[in-house]
Amino acid sequence: MIDTLIQGLLLGGLYCLFALGQSLMFGVMRLTNTAQGDFIVLGAFGAIALASVLALHPALIALALLPVAFGVGYLLQRHVLNATLGRDPLPSLVVTFGLAIVIQNALLEVFSADPRSLDSAGLNTQSVAVGGELAVGMLPLIVFAVALAATAALQVLFDRTALGRSFRAVSDDREIAELMGLNAKRVYALATGIAFMLILVAGVLQAMRTTVSPSDGPLLLLFAFEAVIIGGMGSFWGTFVGAMVLGVTQQIGFRLDPGWGIWFGHLVFLAVLVMRPQGLFPKTRG
């Protein structure tokens, strides 16, 4: 049971990275990115393509692509998604759904449907002894540590920096924030740029952990969405806890029967949605 709990928490770290970008975008601009999973897959294939040209460590590949991810997110928000924001959430849902379809088909054309992976530089074969006969994989530990650090960094960014105050201001009341001199469209673009950096990190680690294919996006979106809803929309630590709950629940299901893992996670998601639709730790305004 201890092994199941540990493996569930480590899996939750990966789900947290899937979900943090979604949580950030919703928390700042109330935008649900239905292309989240496909952008994660796009980041994974971008890293795989760069690795085929440059024989670099995966960490260096991720660092090289971070500015690209920020630029893509910034430009996408500034020139496309900002035009969809408003009281009606349907335009942003339709546009991001269209982006998901475009990304899937473009990846199929370029990379075919064959699953691919990113060389982990031996991390997927290394382990750390926890005690007795129990050992934990090095790569899952790194994923968990990155998820924990990213969550803490986002919280510090929001609580203690001028940029974070700008994010909170446009989230709470865009009109008043603009009257105070903030450029809401630019602030939104900065938030999406940061979200896309998180998406890239999630994609690189997913490609190191397992194989990825162009059709994986909807499943990754589902995991991200469930983690955000369980934890509470717009709450970073809530998203972290929601991802942990989802990962542990799935591992318990896998332990009972290999076919029950994903199903158990869906059941917990539905239970939270029915009993506490605002999530376990919803974002508080102000």
What confidence tier does 284 reach under pLDDT thresholds 50, 70, 90?
low
What confidence score (pLDDT) does residue 85 get? 87
Question: How big, in percent rounded to 5, are the helix, strand and coil portions of the chain?
Answer: 75, 5, 20
Tokens describing residue 27: 């928390």
Q: Which residues pair with 212 in a beta bridge?
A: 116
- Give dist(CA 140, CA 271) in Å, integer: 28
Write the pLDDT tens digit of every residue in 91-118. 889 999 999 999 999 999 999 888 999 9
Residues linked to residue 129 through DSSP beta bridges, in sequence order: 135
Decide: 36 and 199 in contact? Cβ < 8 Å. Answer: yes
In this predicted structure, the answer to whether residue 285 has a pLDDT above a threshold of 60 is no
Pick 248 or 86 by higher pLDDT. Answer: 248
Segment 52-72 mean pLDDT: 92
Confidence tier at 69 by pLDDT (50, 70, 90): very high
Measured between alpha carbons, how far is 70 from 150 in angstroms, rounded to an integer?
15
Q: Which long-range contacts (CB under 8 A, 24 or more apart) does 98-104 make?
A: 99/35, 99/38, 100/34, 100/35, 100/37, 100/38, 100/217, 100/218, 100/221, 103/35, 103/38, 103/39, 103/41, 103/42, 103/217, 104/38, 104/214, 104/215, 104/217
Contact 36, 220 (CB under 8 A): yes
pLDDT single digits (tens) 228-237? 999 887 789 9
User: What mean pLDDT value characterizes the chain?
Assistant: 89
In the prediction, which pLDDT does 179 show?
85
Tell me, what's the pLDDT at 132? 67
pLDDT score of 137 more than 60 = yes
**pLDDT, greater one: 75 or 255:** 75
Separation CA 124–CA 191 (nearest Å): 32
Task: Identify any residues that bridge with 137 across adjacent strands, giving them in sequence order.
Answer: 127
CA-to-CA distance for 231 and 241, rounded, in angstroms?
6
| pLDDT 10s digits, 150-209 | 999 999 999 899 999 999 899 888 888 888 888 999 999 999 999 999 999 999 999 999
250-266 pLDDT tens trace = 999 888 887 788 888 88
Q: Decide if pLDDT at 286 tops 70.
A: no
